[in-house]
Chains A and B, each alone.
Chain A
Amino acid sequence: MVPLSRLFSSTLGRKYLMGASGMALVLFLVVHLLGNLTLYAGSGEAMNTYAARLHALGPALVALEVGLALTILLHIVTAFQVTYSAKAARPVDYENAKTKGGPSKSTTGSRNMIWTGVVLGVFLIVHVAQFRFGPTMEDGYTASVSGVMVHDIYRVVVEAFTQLKWVAFYVASMLFLGFHLRHGYWSAFQSLGIINPRWSKPIYAMGMAIALLLAFGFLFIPIYIYATQSGGGNA
């Protein structure tokens, strides 16, 4: 028997963890984007209703959040392990290595997953601090949905995205997300070995679609809000 600890500490095992956590995170992003589409509704009601329903889940939500946090942590820790092992595996680097083209998926983006990942990590901290742990109902951010007082998360969002610096930060971060997903999506399938010659190309192509969809899906939100709300202020 192979102890699980050994399985997952092997170079292959790390990639299973990497791929599986990556896939879970893509799934989360899809759900997150779908939820955020409520922001395009124009008024805060849709968004606030959605948020309220989420919070109504209570402990289940906490469990999901903790699960998500652990998945992200796993993804990050594994990423650093993989990067470290790569550096250790080549102590003296080439003067100027070049890709040989052809089937190679070696691009600036794919070779720098760790850096796009680091940017996304920083983004994540800011993002969570700003919205998940931002102004609360006690701070006066309340709204009424069907007569019930709820947290006005919509106002938090609008307040941020009517400032150009936040729009720029979010848009830039989402571009990094795009690059990360462009390689990461297909890579997860390859890492888990759930791929075959017939599906390899479609999955790789789908990686591009997912990257574009998620990156632009998210980055249009701040732009949309800035365009529609900044003129009218945040009254």
Chain B
Amino acid sequence: MSIELNPGIPEGPLSQKWDHYKANMKLVNPANKRKYSVIVVGTGLAGASAAASLAELGYQVKSFCTHDSARRAHSIAAQGGINAAKSYPNDGDSVWRLFYDTIKGGDYRAREANVYRLAQNSTSIIDQCVSQGVPFAREYSGELANRSFGGAQVSRTFYARGQTGQQLLLGAYSQLMKEVDKGKVTLFPYREMLDVVMVDGKARGIITRNVTTGEIERHAADAVVLATGGYGRVYFLSTNAMNSNVTAIWRAHRRGALFGNPCYVQIHPTCIPVSGSYQAKLTLMSESLRNDGRVWVPKKKEDCKKDPSTIPDEDRDYYLERKYPSFGNLAPRDIASRAAKEVCDEGRGVGESGLAVYLDFRDAIKRDSEAVIRERYGNLFDMYHEITNENPYRAPMRIYPAVHYTMGGLWVDYSLQTTLPGLFAAGEANFSDHGANRLGASALMQGLSDGYFVLPYTVTNYLGTHAQELLKKVDVSHAAFDSAENEVRAEIDRMLENGKKGKRTVTEIYRDLGKVVWEKIGMARSEQGLKEALAEIEKLQKDFDTDLLLTGDSKLNKNLEMAGRLRDLLELGALMARDALERKESCGGHFRVESQTPDGEAQRDDENFAHVAAWEYKGKGQVPARHQEKLVYENVKLSVRSYK
């Protein structure tokens, strides 16, 4: 049985679709607005901005986060910037160009209408943030400064030093706190969401656990928004924060929300390599380093352990410059990441682990002087030094790719509603705008567009459309809450009970999962590898069910939280393998070794795969069902990306 996936794209030409939506949406009159309550889970850019904006409209908003404070969400760690088609530098940018770049960057696997709306909203985001007092970088003229990013041909990136994510999040957080003060938003910190409660086919609440007290709580509302971020932590090692997890959207998936394109993952080429088995987190280094650094590995395996300064130029393989002469060291993220993996797989990786390549500034320092390089990259060099205790002015840096963003997520229609009515997903938690690959400085843009400028309209439209039904309030004593709570309790009790007998810690199983997913559903995926991954994950799932070692109680216990998350990540890992297996083409971050051009480049298959894969959960251990949403391109022509 196939589910009808209707993206609900409004009529009219591309540039008028959003206006058309707004002109025809259902409204809720001001007096009625206070009768509705909306739950927003997550307080990152998407969650905080959505909660604040919905509260300003007059709805009663309940905002949940797993941290002590809304300000700790992982959006805070974004460094580079936020794109907007303001065209201040007068360099030919426009809404259309931002739209086009995003569609193309996503390797033609995103929905045109959503991406166009994103580009349209981008300019309002900057105005909004400035009005909040976000201290964007400025020119001496007092005007906002822009820089270029990720190979874009225009300068459309706004930034606040290297802390753009922090400043944007604090802006959204401050607006949220304003509404908390007014009593329009109630904050529920220290909560992890463990289930969505469906009543008569509509999302009417959630079950949460207070991580400090262990209490399981019920919260009812008229609509639920999930803005809980991506699932990069399935790799165990990633640039995501320790608390980033898939649990909220996975529990929604288990309740029936379809999961879109789980195999689309972005791997960033310039991270500090893994230095030991004890590590739990990787650190990203700005991509800008590749403007001056040259990437190389030794030509001969036996040179790999040598002091790099003793290896003469003729024995070095500047492989990016060799393979992609026109882009060289500035090849796009996915290409550069894959090339690094290839040379390491050949046994030419460097460092103690053999899983690193050199990023060498020797020539740049010789050309421009150390002072110039320090001026450009001083803080990054310091950061590298601090972590590795090596001086990158003297010896080349060692870098390796790492996971840092997931394009997949809950399938949503144009209104950001999942396949569960009344359940919305925003930001990285949904699959919507980036296709198979995300451009730099676009994640912040999407999170804020969803929260400030999309959900306030679409949630209102939902409430207005279903007013008759929703005005009959559902109480937390409803049977649906009983059963959802019981399931959640049972699962936690089972973990704690089983945990007394097992031998393998959460971290051990988690690390093994990460290793499988990284090696087999990472930068290069093969049919055989993906099948192996499925088998290995199944084994790990068994380990988790029968041999988990869990100590402590059900009050504040990070290890228990991690166990619950791992349980979901194990299922997600299997789904990623299936999705990657079924998508027998290469596109964006998804590279199938069977689908490449003779010279080793990604080969898309538009005829068979120009669609979104949306997966339906069929129960634990059951094979999920794959559904499709065909992607229709009426405004752009599908073409091949080449970087030779």
Contact, chains A and B (beta carbon distance below 8 A): no
